[in-house]
Amino acid sequence: MDIPLDVVTYGEAMALFVASTSGPLSEVEHFTRRVSGADLNVATGLARLGYRVGYITRVGRDAFGDHIRATLEREAIDQRCVTVDDRFATGFQLKGVGLAGEDPKTEYFRRGSAASRLSLDDYVAEYVLGSRHLHLTGIAPAISLSSRELAFHLAIKMRGAGKTVSFDPNLRPTLWPSRAEMVSQLNELAKYADWVFPGLCEGEILTGRTDVREIAGFYLERGARGVAVKLGEDGAYFRTEQEEGVVPGVRVERIVDTVGAGDGFAVGVVSGLLENMPMADAVARGNRIGALAIQVTGDSEGLPTRADLEALEQFADGSGRSPRTHSVETGLGGDIARPRFARGYRAMFSTAAAQRVEYPPILYFGAAR
């Protein structure tokens, strides 16, 4: 394993079947096959931006597993630590059609899956510690105790080696024995993260705090270097020890599929921070990629290539620099009690082309709350 990686992540990849028509899933006759998994979405997005990404998972020796491995190969995601399990099957998911921008209905078939058997046996020190960065979500630690042990081991080893760690809580309460255990375990895991990306509602559940600044402060107090709280259509609030502010959302003409928006946000923020962008600029990139993700059907189909992203960022301010369309407060001793929203133009982006459009502020989308 002599090729160093930029980023490693781990989790459960599943086959995804997207309904072709709206209505109850029980009545849908035709579905389109894709792949799903929050950590896989982030791996895909970072790989499309040119990062060398490694993925740790287990799939069954079945058609779904074959499809996932073919997808990893197509997206140029390293799969040297993907194990094909002869005993257990690959999980799959059904997803309906969301109407009027609502989240689509989903059903999971993952109990006892090959990925739920992830454990410390899947840890390969050379593979993991040779990378620059580890990205974790709160989903994989919830699918089994052995997978949770792997999550903590990965985080502890990477942090101990002086590498960076990002963490998106991505709450899935139905996978946990209790809400209390979910909160306790994920907050403990977050202690090993440099960058934490909760949604607003997730932050309220995990911290017991309702003010966005206090939610961010909860994780800064526990060792995080930066926190970005997703505010849905209002964009995202960020805070570090040096600065804080709000990055407005990006307006989209039509919301097609909200699933994967938060993963797109993580792709933008992580890539920006790995490129030494200021936190505010990285969050702005996260909002833009999150906005792209919701304009197409599928969990990762809207994630941009590096060329797509550079076109968007060049267009955003006409100079090629990452745009500063947000207000930033430096220093934490000022009078900022709540985020202040910046004024100015918003731009509508699509994956096919970037075209500036002036319009009143009706609907802006950052990433899922």
Which residues are tagged catalytic? 263
Q: Which helix (H) or strand (E) holds 211?
A: none
Gap between the Cα atoms of 9 and 183, Å rounded: 21
Among 50, 229, 41, 233, smallest CA distance to 137 is for 41
* CB 289, CB 250: distance < 8 Å: no
- 3-state SS assignment for residue 333: coil
Contacts for 176 with CB less than 8 Å, ≥ 6 apart: 142, 182, 185
Interatomic CA distance for residues 33 and 356, integer angstroms:
34
- What are the C-alpha distances in Å from 326 to residues 12, 207, 315, 337? 35, 26, 16, 17
Nearest to 212 by CA among 223, 228, 196: 228
Give the residue from 214, 204, 263 showing the smallest Cα distance to 239. 214
